[in-house]
Structure 1
Amino acid sequence: MKEVYICRQEEMADGNVRILRVDGLEIGVIRHKSRFYAYRNLCLHQGGPACEGVRMPGVFDDVDEEGRFLGQKYDEDDVHIVCPWHGYEYHLSDGTNVCDPRLRLQKFEVSERGGNVYVSV
């Protein structure tokens, strides 16, 4: 594996995405809550640019102790990457598809050293 320089940490604000091309691969590097994530920019549905979609909290049903449905809420701790082509959603934390955990975006290791951000390819 080789390490590829992405940027200085301060050059990429929270919520930003950088798309890079390395050895024929398109990789999306996403910064969220000061952490960096890197995935192949290829949706498993029909090859859309998954990392270029919006990121939003997952939605869950709020149910009380007696099983009554109280509505839906956002889970700010479970952010999803939403492919812009057809809305396939993946967990930002690990790249697994929200509906089918057998589907997973190809993940790349991101490291930070000396204020610089690198991805291992």
Structure 2
Amino acid sequence: MVPVKLVLWDLHGFHDTWNGVRATMFRRKSAIIFVLDLETMQLDEIQHLLDISASETVSKRVLVGNKADVAAPGNTEEAEAFATGKGLTYFEASAKDHEVLEVVFGNP
């Protein structure tokens, strides 16, 4: 088994003054997991984070559509299309079913 260092950041909010701080969070990372609330669909914030992280060499970028159980009709399809268009691996999850970690981290 290989030890893995997992660092989680909650970057919610569109704060331009955080751009420098956010950019440093993406440096020297093997993977980045972006979590999208399928209820509110703030794709502009995900795009902003993708733009900030674009200059970093990251082997895997993942988009997790969360709150799949309460998503408005069409939101899951829009999120999946967004992910596909950006070259992101896409998963859907709901914190209610306790399988979120297995869905995201249990898939090679």
Q: Higher helix fraction: Structure 1 or Structure 2?
A: 2
Using CA pairs under 8 Å that are at least 6 residues apart, name the structure with larger relative contact order, 1 or 2. Answer: 1
Rg bigger for which structure? 1
Q: Higher strand fraction: Structure 1 or Structure 2?
A: 1
Give the TM-score normalised by the residue count of structure 1.
0.26
